[in-house]
Every structure is written in C-alpha cells, then in structure tokens.
Chain A
C-alpha cells in the first residue's frame, strides 16, 4: 500500500498524533534542561524510570503510571543532589542511574515477563500505542507545552541565572523542582515514542539544532519545538517508508537519527552565521545614533511641530495630579503630566526613543491604570489635554505590545 494509505490505518494515525505532540513537548522541556547544563538529566531520569516500568510490569498495573511516579521521585532526588553541589554528587547520581537500569531489568526478570516487554519501553513502541495511552500522552503533552510556554519568563530566569532569580524574588527551589518534574513527565511521554534509552535525544538534539542558528531564548524555545516536531514526524514517516521495502525499522531510533542528521545539516549553516555575526559590532545598538554637532541642528517643519506642541505646553503645576482620582487612590500611577510629556517626545519627529518609552509606559502602573475620567484635562490651565495624550499613549503601547508578540525577532 502507498504511504498515504499506510497513514490512514488507525494505529499509524495514533502513532502520528503521539509523535506530533511528543515532538513538540519534549524539546520544550529540553530547552530549560539544556539551559541549566543538565543535558544528561533526561538520560538519568530515563534510567531510573526503567525501575518504575519494571514495577508496573511486576505488579500488573499500568507501567506508564508507575513510571510516572518513579520518574518524578527520581527527578526530584536528582535535583536535590545536584543542588547540594558536593563532588560526591556525581558518584551518587551515577549509582542512581546504574541502579535504576539494572534494578529495572532484574525486577522484570523476577516478574517472569522477560526482557521482550521491557524492550518496548527501552526502545519505544509508538506503533502499538493504545487509545487510552494516547489520550494520557496527549493530555500530558498539552500540559507540558502550556507550562513551558506560559511560565517561560520565570523558568528562563531560574534556568539562566538562579542567583538573579532569587534576588528578583522568584521561588527558585520551586521552579527548579518544577523543571525536574517536567523533565520526568516528558521522559514518560517520550518513552513510548523513542524509548527510555534514547529519550534524552528527543529532548536535547532539537535544542542543539536551533542553538546553531539563534541565541535568543524565545526563538530557541519555539524553534526547538518545531525541530522536535519535524524530527519526530520525519522519523516516523522514514520508518514507515522503509517498512514498505521489507525492512523492520523501529520508529524510535529513526526519529533520533533524523534529529541527528538535522543537526549535522544545520551545523555548517550555524558556523557561517556565527562568522557573519562576529563581523558586526558585538554589542547591540542601544542608543540611537546622534547627529554630529557640525551637521547642524535637527530641522523640523511647522506641521511637525504642531504634532506635539500641545503636549509641550505643560508648566508642571501638577493640578492634573490633584484632579486625577486614580492617582489619589494609588500613588504608584505614573500620572497625567508624565504621560503627556512622554507622548510629547513620542510624537516629536526628531525623537528615536519611542519604543523604549512605550515599553516603560506599558507596565501595569503606567498607562493602564487610567480610566479616562478626563478631570486632568479639565483642570489643566494650559490646555495640554493630558487625558487625550494618555489614550494616544495607550493605543501606541498596545500596538507595540501586539507587534512584539507577533514579531519577536524585531531588533530591540
């Protein structure tokens, strides 16, 4: 049958859905693991999870759920040992990993099922995933993706620089353990796809691929999810295509090999990009270039002056602050005169700092507290209309927010 017919068979469709979701979720967690330089943590958890699977097989309960429990316990232990930071931590971890793998195979033997059932979990068996397993995988994958993307600022802060995160007030312990638990869960959902021995590859290799091309965290997270998806689905399709020629290729290893092939393809591109970037100034341009003095002053037409003139008439009498009920209720509000002045500069044709100003104004204590009461404009003796300025600033800040959400690669 053709490839398309092959994919209309239910078990292949289930495999495709599982590969799709796991391919997105595992690298999302992997981004944080790689950031914390714990690229082998997935391997470690995978080894420990073998014991969990074995216990499940021995007690005739669902191996997936026992694997979840043991993997989470193992991940937390690994995280706690790592945090202690002693040199013996390495040895302790190594013993945990070997104990996990050996113990798992041993317990499977005790159960009498032998190594064949365990092999499904060691090397993946995406083609035999049942509907119940698929639903659990889907639910866990969605939860993982939502947490990894939704909590990305906090998780990034904790993964990148834990001391800074602690000083900034984040509960570092909680987030570190959360990352460990997320890693355990992604190991469990990936164990059906690529197997416990190769699970780290699906978490780490897509991240490595994308890090050849970009240094930005958000692009790494999104790109790794895309690369993982491509590798997962690509590997599955490759195994399916090869199976028609009579070979009996497992999807798990083919997914990993496709990912590695992707890495080797991207590697020269990454080298070229790095060489190009080194030619550009190493520091991002933070300040706009100023005109040298001997080129004279910035010229402006009367129409350009008329754009912002009204907002420049402020004499700092602060009557608007006295009239504003929002400011009276909460002094943290930036206030009408300040925003009118900011808008005066935003509208000035000679100015180039509007993005930075709008980023500050777009904070919760900035423009968003204002509810357009309008008393400030009524009270203003110079007709500055700060209320209008604030609404214009809100519109500009909202446009900035939408653009920075939809186009994160814009230069700062």
Chain B
C-alpha cells in the first residue's frame, strides 16, 4: 500500500531464520507445516481408493503397507500435525468469524463449543461409515 520509494526508508534486516528465534514464531511455522502432512494424508487416501479400485489383493497389499512400522510412525507424526491443524484452526474460528443470532453477537465460547461439537458429530459419522 506504500510506494516503493517509501518502502526504501530504513528497514531492519530480517534474518533468514527469523522464525526460529522466538517460540511463538516457531509454533506458527509448525502450524503452517502441518499442511504438508495434511496433503500427505490426502495422498494416502487416494492410494487407498486406487487400491480398492485395483481389486481385493491390492487392497490387502495396501493394508499390509500401512501396517509397516515405519508407516505407522509416519502416520502418528502426521496425526500429531493434523490434530495441531484441527485444534488451531478451530480455536481461531471465533476470532475470525463473528456470528450473529437475532442481532446479538454469539459469545466466543459458544462458537467454539459449536465447532467442537460439529467435529465430534462428523467423527462419529465417518467412523460409523467405515467400520460398520
């Protein structure tokens, strides 16, 4: 929003690893990196679909690959990041969205409760879909 001329006024040099120097910045970076693991899990889901499409033996091979200890470790790490994404995204929702009911602002705690309740409902539904 400022002209390039104004932008050439004094600016402190920003170190390349600026995000490693404060805990809060590092947490932020990890939160952003969680998106990589989210994309990784989407890839795993697509491999699952591909395996089911290829037949029962492919599906069995997929399940065996997932049971490999290295894969389990990877998936646990991915789960940690995925939960970090979910929790931070949920907690930031009341600040980002002001919900109004009948002209009055809904308090943040209610919005947060709503978000987590929704998460619970979706979790139960999907678990039932897959396992039953």
Contact = CB atoms under 8 A, between A and B. Distances in A.
A and B touch in the complex (CB under 8 A): yes
Interface of A: 303, 306-307, 325, 328-329, 331-334, 338, 363, 365-366, 371-375, 378, 385, 387-388, 391-392, 394-395
Contacts of B2: 331-332
A374 B28 contact: yes
Contact of A375 (B7, B25, B103): B25
Given A325-B18, A373-B28, A378-B24, A385 B95 contact: yes
B36 to A, nearest CB: 15
Contacts of A394: 96
B23 to A, nearest CB: 11
Given A328-B14, A378-B24, A363 B1 contact: yes
A233 to B, nearest CB: 42
26 contacts: A306-B105, A325-B14, A328-B12, A328-B18, A329-B14, A331-B6, A331-B7, A331-B11, A332-B1, A332-B2, A332-B4, A332-B7, A365-B1, A372-B92, A373-B25, A374-B24, A375-B24, A388-B95, A388-B96, A391-B92, A391-B95, A391-B97, A392-B96, A392-B97, A392-B98, A395-B97
B119 interface: no
B117 to A, nearest CB: 22
A334 B6 CA distance: 13
A325 B96 contact: no
Give the most central of A366, A372, A375: most B CB within 10 Å: A372
Contacts of B6: 331
B19 interface: yes
A395 B14 contact: no
Contacts of A385: 95
Give the most central of B11, B24, B96, B103: most A CB within 10 Å: B96
Contacts of A388: 95-96
B10 to A, nearest CB: 10
Contacts of B14: 325, 328-329
Interface in B1-52: 1-2, 4, 6-7, 9, 11-12, 14, 18-19, 24-25, 28, 32
Contacts of B9: 331
Nearest to A373: B28
Contacts of A387: 95
B104 interface: yes
Contacts, number: 54
Contact of B105 (A307, A363, A374): A307
Contacts of A334: 1
A334 B101 CA distance: 32
Nearest to A334: B1
Counting contact residues on chain B (CB < 8 A from A), the size range is: 20 to 34
Contacts of A303: 103-104
Contacts of A392: 96-98
A306 B6 CA distance: 36
B110 to A, nearest CB: 16
Contacts of B12: 328
A375 B31 CA distance: 14
B95 A325 contact: no
Contacts of B105: 306-307
Nearest to A369: B1
Interface in B82-97: 92, 95-97
B86 to A, nearest CB: 15
A210 to B, nearest CB: 37
B16 to A, nearest CB: 11
Nearest to A371: B32
A333 B95 CA distance: 21
A303 B104 CA distance: 8
Give the most central of B2, B18, B32: most A CB within 10 Å: B2
Contacts of A372: 92, 96
Nearest to A378: B24
Given A303-B103, A375-B25, 20 more contacts: A306-B105, A307-B105, A325-B25, A328-B11, A328-B14, A331-B2, A331-B9, A331-B11, A332-B2, A333-B1, A363-B1, A366-B1, A371-B32, A372-B92, A374-B92, A375-B24, A385-B95, A391-B95, A391-B96, A395-B97
Contacts of B92: 372, 374, 391
Nearest to B12: A328
A329 B13 CA distance: 9
